[in-house]
Amino acid sequence: MGYRLIVYLTWLLFVLRNNALKYDAQEALWNLNTNRNATHPLEYSGEWDHHVYTPSPPNWRLPFYTIMLDRFVNGDPSNDNANGTQFEQDITQTQLRHGGDIQGLKDSLDYLQGMGIKVLYLAGSPHLNMPWSSDGYSPLDFTLLDHHFGTIAEWQDVIAEIHHRGMYVVLDNTMSTMSDLIGFEGYLNTSTPFASEEHNALWKSDQRYPDFDFGNEEVAKCDYPRFYGDDGMEVNNLTTELVGCRDSEFDQYGEIAAFGNYPEWQRQISKFAFVQDRLREWRPDVLSKIEHFACITLAMLDIDGYRMDKGLMITVDAQAHWSESIRQCARKYGKENFYISGEIVSGNTFGSVYIGRGRTPAQYVNDTTQAVLMTNTSDDKFFIRDLGKSAFDGAAFHYTVYRFLTRILGMDGTFAAEGDPPTDWVEFWNTILQTNDLVNANTGKFDPRHMYGVTNQDVFRWPAIANGTQKQLLGMFFTTLLLPGIPTLVWGEEQAFYVMDNTASNYVFGRSPMSSSQAWEMHGCFTSGNSKYYQFPVETALRGCTDDSINLDHRDPSNPIRNIIKSTYEMRENYPVLNDGFSIKQLSKQTHQNFLPGSNHTPTETGMWSMERAGWDGAQSINQTVWLVYGNENVDKIYSSACDGTSALLAPFAAGTTVRNLYSPYETYTLESSSTGMPTDDSKSNGCLSQLQLAAWGFKAFVPEGEFITPTPVITKFLPGHDIRLISTEIVGIELHFSAEMDCDQIKEAIYVNSTTMNNQTAKLDSASSQCKNISSAQADPSPWSGGVSTKWVFIANLTNVSDGVHEVTVKNVSISDGKKSTNSVDHFLLRVGQPNNPVVFPKTANYSSTILSRDSTGALQLSHNAQGADRFRYSLNFETTYSDWEEYPANGLTQLPPKTWSGTDLQKWNGEHVIVQYWSRLTGSSAHVQHGDIDSTPRYFPHFFLHGSFNQYGFDAGYINEMFKDARDGLWKFNFMSEWPVRVALNVWGINPDGQPDQTRVYGDIDGDMVLDRIPPLSLIKNLINITDSPPTPYLANQIVLDDANMRYHIISVGNRWIQLTLYLLLWFIPIISGALGIWLFVKFFYQVKFNEIGVSEKKGIGTLAVRRRIKHPGRTVSTQPLMASNLHHPSSARTTANNLPSPRSQGMGKHTEPEIGQFKRRAVLIATMEYDIEDWKIKVKIGGLGVMAQLMGKNLAHQDLVWVIPCVGGVNYPMDTPGQPIMIKILGKQYQVQVQYHVLRNITYVLLDAPIFRQQTQSEPYPPRMDDLDSAIYYSAWNQCIAEALRRFPVDLYHINDYHGAVAPLHLLPDVVPCVLSLHNAEFQGLWPMRTITEREEVCDIYNLDSSVVQRYVQFGEVFNLLHAGASYLRIHQKGFGAVGVSAKYGKRSFARYPILWGIDKVGALPNPDPTDTGAWNKEQIKTSEIPVDEELEKTKPDLKRQAQEWASLKQDAEADLFVFVGRWSQQKGVE
Query: Please, what is the angle between helix 1335-1345 and helix 1271-1290, to 10°?
Result: 40
What radius of gyration, in Å, describes the C-alpha atoms of the chain?
42
- Position 1193 scores a pLDDT of 78
Q: What pairing do the DSSP bridges indicate for beta strands 394-396 and 451-453? A: unpaired
Helix (H) or strand (E) holding 573: helix 560-574
Report how far apart, in Å, the C-alpha atoms of 623 and of each of 61, 426, 616, 658, 1298 are. Answer: 19, 20, 10, 18, 101
Mean pLDDT, residues 682-709 taken together: 92
Torsion of CA 903, 905, 910, 914, to 10 degrees: -20
- Among candidates 756, 848, 737, which has minimal Cα distance to 802? 756
Mean pLDDT, residues 140-144 taken together: 95
Is residue 442 scored above 90 in pLDDT? yes
pLDDT 10s digits, 557-569:
999 999 999 999 9
Q: 1432 φ, ψ to 5°?
A: -90, 100
DSSP state of 606: E
Is residue 2 scored above 90 in pLDDT? no
Query: Please, what is the angle between helix 284-301 and helix 152-164, to 10°?
Result: 60
Cα first-last separation, the chain:
53
- Among candidates 129, 131, 67, 139, which has minimal Cα distance to 100? 67
pLDDT 10s digits, 1434-1462:
878 788 888 888 887 777 888 888 887 76
- Per-position DSSP letters for 673-696, written without gaps between them: P-SSEETTEEEEEEEEESEEEE-T
Per-residue confidence at 675, pLDDT binned at 50, 70, 90?
Answer: confident
Per-residue confidence at 1387, pLDDT binned at 50, 70, 90?
Answer: confident
pLDDT 10s digits, 1131-1160:
333 333 333 344 433 333 333 444 555 445
State the pTM of this model.
Answer: 0.75
- Among candidates 391, 357, 362, which has minimal Cα distance to 375? 357
- Among candidates 414, 523, 317, 366, which has minimal Cα distance to 1010? 523
Query: How much of the chain exceeds pLDDT 90, in percent?
Result: 71
- Range in 117-126, 187-196, 493-502, 1125-1134 the model is least confident about: 1125-1134
What is the distance between the alpha carbons of residues 115 and 132, in angstroms, rounded to a whole number?
A: 32
What is the distance between the alpha carbons of residues 188 and 61, in angstroms, rounded to a whole number?
A: 47
- Position 1426 scores a pLDDT of 63
Is residue 972 scored above 60 in pLDDT? yes
What is the distance between the alpha carbons of residues 275 and 225, in angstroms, rounded to a whole number?
A: 24
- Among candidates 474, 662, 472, which has minimal Cα distance to 567? 662
- Range in 246-260, 885-899, 904-918, 1038-1052 the model is least confident about: 246-260
Mean pLDDT, residues 1222-1242 taken together: 93
What is the distance between the alpha carbons of residues 668 and 702, in angstroms, rounded to a whole number?
A: 9
Report how far apart, in Å, the C-alpha atoms of 97 and of each of 70, 458, 466, 926 are. Answer: 6, 17, 30, 12
Is residue 7 scored above 70 in pLDDT? no
Per-residue confidence at 627, pLDDT binned at 50, 70, 90?
Answer: very high
Mean pLDDT (the chain) is 88
Asked if 436 and 373 touch (Cβ cutoff 8 Å), the reply is no
Higher-confidence residue of 895 and 419: namely: 895
Sheet bearing 451-453, strands edge to edge: 394-396, 339-343, 305-308, 168-173, 119-123, 64-68, 486-490, 451-453
- Among candidates 524, 622, 637, 610, which has minimal Cα distance to 580? 622
Residue 1330: burial class (beta carbons within 10 Å; 0-12, 13-18, 19+): buried
Q: 1245 φ, ψ to 5°?
A: -105, 130
Mean pLDDT, residues 822-843 taken together: 97
- Per-position DSSP letters for 735-800, written without gaps between them: EEEESS-B-HHHHHHHEEEEEEETT-PPPEEEEEEEEEEE--TTTSPPPSSTTPPPP-EEEEEEEE
- Per-position DSSP letters for 715-749, written without gaps between them: EEEEES-TTEEEES-S-EEEEEEESS-B-HHHHHH
Residue 918: burial class (beta carbons within 10 Å; 0-12, 13-18, 19+): buried
What is the distance between the alpha carbons of residues 1138 and 815, in angstroms, rounded to a whole number?
A: 88
Q: What pairing do the DSSP bridges indicate for beta strands 339-343 and 182-184? A: unpaired
What is the distance between the alpha carbons of residues 357 and 387, in angstroms, rounded to a whole number?
A: 7
Kindly report the CA angle at 1019 between 505 and 139, in degrees rounded to 5?
95
Per-residue confidence at 20, pLDDT binned at 50, 70, 90?
Answer: very low
Per-residue confidence at 262, pLDDT binned at 50, 70, 90?
Answer: confident
What is the distance between the alpha carbons of residues 130 and 1001, in angstroms, rounded to a whole number?
A: 15
Is residue 1126 scored above 70 in pLDDT? no
CB atoms within 10 A of CB 253: 23
Cis, bond preceding 1316 (omega within 30 deg of 0)? no
- Range in 265-269, 709-713, 872-876, 1011-1015 the model is least confident about: 265-269
Is residue 39 scored above 80 in pLDDT? yes
* Helix residue ranges, H only, 1150-1215: 1186-1197
Is residue 19 scored above 90 in pLDDT? no
Helix (H) or strand (E) holding 256: strand 255-256
Sheet bearing 913-921, strands edge to edge: 887-888, 872-876, 913-921, 926-935
Is residue 783 scored above 70 in pLDDT? yes
pLDDT 10s digits, 393-419:
999 999 999 999 999 999 999 988 888
- Position 1061 scores a pLDDT of 86
pLDDT 10s digits, 609-622:
999 999 999 999 99
What is the distance between the alpha carbons of residues 788 and 711, in angstroms, rounded to a whole number?
A: 13
What is the distance between the alpha carbons of residues 1462 and 1454, in angstroms, rounded to a whole number?
A: 15
3-state secondary structure of 1308: helix
Alpha carbon of residue 147 to chain centroid: 20
Mean pLDDT, residues 1305-1309 taken together: 95
- Per-position DSSP letters for 1400-1433, written without gaps between them: TTSS--EE-----HHHHSPPPSSPPPGGG----H
3-state secondary structure of 1128: helix
Per-residue confidence at 1467, pLDDT binned at 50, 70, 90?
Answer: very low
Per-residue confidence at 1100, pLDDT binned at 50, 70, 90?
Answer: very low
Is residue 255 scored above 80 in pLDDT? yes
- Position 238 scores a pLDDT of 79
- Position 57 scores a pLDDT of 98
- Position 1423 scores a pLDDT of 57
Is residue 429 scored above 90 in pLDDT? yes
Per-residue confidence at 244, pLDDT binned at 50, 70, 90?
Answer: confident
What is the distance between the alpha carbons of residues 1014 and 94, in angstroms, rounded to a whole number?
A: 8
- Range in 89-103, 920-934, 1188-1202, 1209-1223 the model is least confident about: 1188-1202
The set of residues, in sequence order, having a beta carbon less than 8 Å from that of 845 and lying 6+ positions away, is 836
- Position 168 scores a pLDDT of 98
What is the distance between the alpha carbons of residues 1338 and 1128, in angstroms, rounded to a whole number?
A: 28
- Position 1137 scores a pLDDT of 32
Mean pLDDT, residues 1240-1268 taken together: 91
- Position 1140 scores a pLDDT of 38
* Helix residue ranges, H only, 1087-1179: 1106-1113
The set of residues, in sequence order, having a beta carbon less than 8 Å from that of 813 and lying 6+ positions away, is 750, 822, 823, 824, 825, 826
Is residue 668 scored above 60 in pLDDT? yes
- Position 1425 scores a pLDDT of 64
Is residue 9 scored above 50 in pLDDT? no
DSSP state of 1438: H
pLDDT 10s digits, 53-72:
999 999 999 999 999 999 99
Sheet bearing 677-678, strands edge to edge: 649-654, 681-689, 677-678
What is the distance between the alpha carbons of residues 100 and 512, in angstroms, rounded to a whole number?
A: 11
What is the distance between the alpha carbons of residues 364 and 387, in angstroms, rounded to a whole number?
A: 17
What is the distance between the alpha carbons of residues 403 and 1439, in angstroms, rounded to a whole number?
A: 95
Per-residue confidence at 1122, pLDDT binned at 50, 70, 90?
Answer: very low
- Position 959 scores a pLDDT of 80
What is the distance between the alpha carbons of residues 1287 and 1342, in angstroms, rounded to a whole number?
A: 21
Higher-confidence residue of 1003 and 819: namely: 1003
706 half-sphere exposure, CB direction, 13 A CA radius: 4
- Position 630 scores a pLDDT of 98
Mean pLDDT, residues 107-121 taken together: 98
Is residue 194 scored above 70 in pLDDT? yes
Q: 179 φ, ψ to 5°?
A: -90, -155
Longest dimension (CA), the chain: 142
- Range in 310-324, 433-447, 1022-1036 the model is least confident about: 1022-1036
